[in-house]
Amino acid sequence: MDRFFRDIGRIGGARRTDVIEKDYHLHALLLEISKDQYLRGDLVFKGGTCLVKAYPGYYRSSEDIDLTWADQGQWSSVTPSKRNDLCAREVENVIGHLKKITDRIGMSFSGEKCGKDVHISSGGKMVTVHPISLLWTG
């Protein structure tokens, strides 16, 4: 694979093949996420990585994946305590699905809420995963 990334870099005029390799693996991961019934049905891809993929010419290096819940209304109709419980359960579901995907495609991802590749913020309502920054195992 190293030669493949070097050749792509040479053809495209890129100086850093590590960026090409990360982008390749990011695309592989996003493809698998789009095939997952649970993830594609309830989550929306957003953030810098999304902008890079959606708008050619938007040059920004981003390798994390920001996801948000598509139906925000369901969170506002419950008590804060219930919302926290629901969020915690959904975070575990999302991480579990991502773990299965990354295992299947040969990426290293802890699959743990307290892992170095998972960042939970906003009181448990926002999750950012960083599978691309980890070692590729394939």
Residue in this structure with the two tokens 């698998």, named with its chain if needed: 32
Which stretch of 48-52, 70-74, 101-105, 115-119 has the lowest confidence by average pLDDT?
48-52
| Average pLDDT of the segment spanning 42-50 | 76
Greater pLDDT, 18 or 50: 18
Q: Which residue ranges make up each domain of the chain?
A: 2-129
Q: What are phi and psi of 20, to 5 degrees?
A: -65, -45
24 vs 53, which has greater pLDDT? 24
Question: pLDDT grade, residue 112 (50/70/90)?
Answer: confident
How far from 20 is each of 5, 25, 29, 105, CA to CA, in Å? Answer: 6, 9, 14, 17
Q: Give the pLDDT score at 27.
A: 83
The pTM assigned to this predicted structure is: 0.77
Average pLDDT, the chain: 79
**Which run of H or of E encompasses 98?**
helix 80-105
What value does the mean pLDDT take over residues 4-19?
Answer: 83
- Give me the DSSP letters along 26-88: HHHHHHHHHH-HHHHHHEEEESHHHHHHHSTT-------EEEEES-THHHHTS-HHHHHHHHH
**53 and 46 Cβ atoms separated by less than 8 Å:** no
Which residue, 34, 32, 39, 3, is CA-closest to 105?
A: 32
